A = this chain, B = another copy of it.
Amino acid sequence: MKRTSLVQTQFLSAQDVASVVTQTGVAATLHGIADYIFDDYLRWEDFDKCARLAAHSKDGVIELMPVADAKTYAFKYVNGHPKNHRLGLPTVMAFGVLADVNTGIPELLSELTLTTALRTAAMSAVAARALARPNSTSMALIGNGAQSEFQALAFHHLLGIQEIRLFDTDRAATEKLMRNLKHTGLRLIVCENIAQAVRGADIVTTVTADKANATILTPDLIEPGMHINGVGGDCPGKTELHADVLRGAAVFVEYEPQTRIEGDLQQLPADFPVTELWQVLSAQAPGRTGNAQVTVFDSVGFALEDYSALRYMRDSARRLGMGLPVSLIPELADPKDLFSLIRPLTASHEELDVTGFTDFKELALCL
């Protein structure tokens, strides 16, 4: 008896996920992922969490990010290689898996390069809904690379941001963003420098790629009431905010043990106070406490967001009939007979059904 359905893995390619997004619509996708993230953050304590496992090299990092609840295990493979664009390659590439905790079967294998950009933007918007001033309408967007359009659209659709003030050292990146978001209704303003972009903005999003202790935002640029969505400082030795920007703000993080290592927070002593975002979302800790307060979401990207995004993509792909089964795990008629996979000469005996025999002597006669 062939058990053809037990161990199949559903595969979502980069094209499949792109197709899920275009069929669903970007706004609806961002809303959907944000809802899944929000739901999962509300049950934060159900999850077995750890800081991601990073392998650092001269020009980049490769990370594994696992997380699990009692039912579902998820992990993401993701790299960060800021110089990749010189080779025509994305800086960040990713894929991930959802597996059944009770059996270990990898049920879904999905691209996560596109999905990571979507989930990071959705996460930023979920945080900003809790931390930015209500009625924020303008955002500075420093860094106009691969993730920038997703950030712009998430803040547009989930927070009502109408104006985006753009800056990137690479003018071509800014032009690419303007082409991509031409028909979205967003007012896009190209700025000459960081200070010009930041001035008067309600929210400042930094999403730069250099693996360096950069200082994209200095204290003199920060205005009362601003919310800073710091996305690009996410690796040891890769920061964006001057330490005094953090010192002058209320700082919120995803998973504190990981952010202490990877976030802009790495610049501050271990006892610098921060609040985990799940506590704010579940009303166990205050978010913004006043209109003049400066808030920082020191985002590094946490495995739970990929768990949420993978669930969203799995559910959406099912609904739309996308994806294909792949044979990642062998199908075995007898689970203890792995050797059957490489036993071609006697395969015919198997097909004649020897499974019923329990007496070896009888079997020996039979063969």
Contacts and interface: CB of A to CB of B under 8 A. Distances in A.
Contacts of A70: 57
A225 to B, nearest CB: 30
A326 B13 contact: yes
Interface in A317-367: 326-332, 334-346, 349, 354, 357-358, 360, 363, 367
A90 B330 contact: yes
A268 to B, nearest CB: 26
Nearest to A359: B175
A14 interface: yes
Interface string A143-172: 011110110000000000000000000111
A55 to B, nearest CB: 5
A71 B18 CA distance: 31
Contacts of A149: 338-339
A62 B73 contact: yes
Q: Which of A75, A335, A354 has the most CB of B within 10 A?
A: A335
A59 to B, nearest CB: 6
A117 B145 CA distance: 44
A300 interface: no
Nearest to A64: B64
A336 B26 CA distance: 18
Contact of A146 (B105, B145, B336): B336
B335 A88 contact: yes
Contacts of A22: 342, 344
B75 A99 contact: no
A289 interface: no
Nearest to A87: B103
A90 B338 contact: yes
Interface string A211-235: 0000000000000000000000000
Interface stretch (A133-141, A178-186, A239-247, A280-288): A178-186
A97 interface: yes
A328 B111 contact: yes
A360 B117 CA distance: 25
A342 B97 contact: no
Contacts of A75: 64, 77
Q: Which of A80, A97, A343 has the most CB of B within 10 A?
A: A343
A141 B360 CA distance: 18
Contacts of A358: 171-172, 175
A102 to B, nearest CB: 6
Interface stretch (A3-11, A251-259, A307-315): A3-11
Given A64-B64, A90-B329, 14 more contacts: A6-B87, A14-B331, A15-B330, A21-B341, A26-B342, A64-B66, A75-B77, A79-B103, A79-B105, A87-B103, A89-B105, A90-B330, A146-B336, A149-B338
Interface of A: 3, 6-7, 11, 13-15, 18, 21-22, 26, 48, 50, 53, 55, 57, 59-60, 62, 64, 66, 68, 70, 73, 75, 77, 79-81, 84-85, 87-91, 93, 95, 97, 99, 101-106, 111, 113-114, 117, 144-147, 149-150, 170-180, 182-183, 190, 326-332, 334-346, 349, 354, 357-358, 360, 363, 367
**Interchain residue pairs A-B with the least CB separation, the first 5:** A79-B104, A14-B330, A146-B338, A149-B339, A13-B327
